[in-house]
């Protein structure tokens, strides 16, 4: 990983016309400003991971695989409950 030290008010440039500026440093975190072309997607990492997990979940929502999980679970569980 490339590590660059920047202060508030300074920025860095990525190819493709992307600029990331350090706007503010505080005890709560770092506030960044990002300038990028409209076709560049900017996501918080957590949202990116959630997107990826959702795509995988949709592709693998296969009953037979879920049944395998349930087979092991039912050996140790009691009566089931339904979400209200």
Partner 1 sequence: MPQESPYYQFPEGLPAFEQHRSFRLVREPSFDPLLFLVSGSDPGLRFICVQVRFIAPEYCYELDQAGAAVLGVAPGRYGAADERFGCLAILSFPSDEPATANLLAPVVIHYANRAGLQAVQTGGVWSHAQPVVLMEGA
Cα–Cα distance measured from residue 77 to residue 80, given in angstroms and rounded to the nearest whole number: 8
User: Which residue do the tokens 């860095």 mark?
Assistant: 12
Nearer to partner 1, 31 or 67 (CB): 67
The answer to whether residue 35 forms part of the interface with partner 1 (CB under 8 A) is no
Nearest in space to 19 (alpha carbons), one of 32, 29, 31? 32
The binding track of 52-81 with respect to partner 1, each residue x by CB under 8 A or -, is: xxxxxxx-xxxx-xxx-xx--x--xxx-xx
Give the DSSP letter of residue 56. H
Which residues here bind partner 1, judged by CB under 8 A? Answer: 44, 46-47, 49-58, 60-63, 65-67, 69-70, 73, 76-78, 80-84
């Amino acid at each position: 990983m490339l590590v660059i030290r920047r202060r508030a008010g300074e920025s860095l440039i990525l190819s493709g016309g992307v600029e990331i500026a350090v706007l503010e440093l505080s005890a709560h975190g770092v506030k960044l400003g990002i300038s990028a072309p409209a076709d560049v997607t900017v996501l918080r990492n957590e949202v990116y991971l959630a997107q990826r997990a959702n795509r995988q979940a949709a592709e693998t929502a296969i009953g037979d695989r879920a049944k395998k999980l349930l087979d092991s679970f039912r050996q140790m569980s009691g009566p089931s409950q339904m979400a209200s």
